[in-house]
Amino acid sequence: MNERNTVLYLNRNHIEQVGGGTSELYVAAVEQALKLHANGDYVQPLKPYLRVSRDGQTGHIADRIIAMPAHIGGDQAVSGIKWIGSKHDNPGKRELERASGVIILNDPGSNYPIAILEASLISGMRTAAVTVIGARHLAKAGFTRISCIGCGTIAAMQLHSMLEQFSGIEELSLYDWNEAASVKLSQSVAQRFPAVRIVITESAEGAVRAGEVVITCTVADQPYIPFEWLREGAFVSNISIMDLHKDVFVRAAKVVVDDWDQSNREKKIINQLVLEGSFSREQLYAELGEIVTGAKPGRQSEQEIIILNPMGMAIEDIASAQAIYQRALAANVGQRLSLFGKDA
């Protein structure tokens, strides 16, 4: 088959074959994407949300399909888009993962598609990489306790990535309204990391109060974590966006986002605060790329409570997919699909 007129299809198994099931690849790719973001070497339109309710507003916050296009520069320049759908009731109602999607990579010279990749693994793992990178710069040095609220697939990727990257973690506190999910996650973690102590708490409050690093992995559409629950010096990776009360953002020592324009929209908590006049771009401490490049310092004291509120950026997905694609080419992994149905 003439590769000039084909795309390389990489399913989840292919992605795992070339290292896409562990954190190393994603941490390197996302860190590079954040540097490109800080240096302005990217293009990233605001991502549209497709909601099928008549007014586009009602329904669960996690029920949507998002289009995330981007171009990244640097040595591995590439364009692409992530098209990812989510239904909050997929696990319970359909026995499916909550999110599913594809990533398409395009050659930046011709704009022809060159690869199609299963997206949900990449999406979850690059999100975990953001927490890892955030913790390197924003958590207390030598932290040993992590708390995780919500114990589904995303939580598993978060915790496995953190445990792979930080050998000093001693204790995990887990909470999910569905205790079976907490038990399942604890068993998964214990199998790979038997030395880590795992506590399943009876409340979200109990878990949050225990954590030096707190990770939210829920489908909550209303905040439930007040500032008073956070211990001195806590770092919160607010992955699921809607979990923290407004007072947390106002009272924290530092609030960091991945991209201000992406974060200040869709009536998420930061956007609500901006509309109310309680928060602004000037009150934001930094975008994460500024900290990764050293343009701004990260944590500066043991006492600071620091919030990372990452909406998720398309450049992180495209950078990760590009790294996987390059590894797949080198290892001759994947399936070639003809664009035109014939060699031409």
Q: Which pLDDT band, with edges at 50, 70 and 90, does 4 fall under? A: confident
Domains identified in the chain and CATH numbers: 3-122+314-338 (3.30.1780.10), 127-309 (3.40.50.720)
Higher pLDDT, 58 or 213: 213
Is 82 part of the annotated catalytic residue set? yes
> How far is C-alpha 284 from the geometric centre of its chain's CA atoms?
20
Q: How far apart are CA 171 and CA 144, in angstroms?
A: 6
Coil vs helix vs strand at 282: coil
Length of the chain (residues): 344
Beta bridge partners, 16, equal none
Residue tagged 């109060």 (tokens): 209
Residue pair 118/139 in contact (Cβ under 8 Å)? The answer is no
- The catalytically annotated residue of 35, 47, 82, 267 is 82
Beta pairing, strands 235-237 & 213-216: parallel
Which residues make Cβ contacts (< 8 Å) with residue 73, sequence separation at least 6?
A: 36, 41, 42
**Is 319's pLDDT higher than 60?**
yes
Side-chain-side CA neighbours of 80 within 13 Å: the count stands at 28
The mean pLDDT of the chain is 95
240-244, 326-330, 338-342: range with lowest mean pLDDT: 338-342
Beta bridge partners, 254, equal 306
Q: Pull the structure tokens for residue 286.
A: 């930094």
Helix or strand run (H / E) with residue 140: none
Q: Which pLDDT band, with edges at 50, 70 and 90, does 266 fall under? A: confident
The string of pLDDT tens digits covering residues 10-21 is 999 999 999 999
Q: How far apart are CA 10 and CA 19, in angstroms?
A: 13
Query: Which residue type is seen at 100?
Result: S
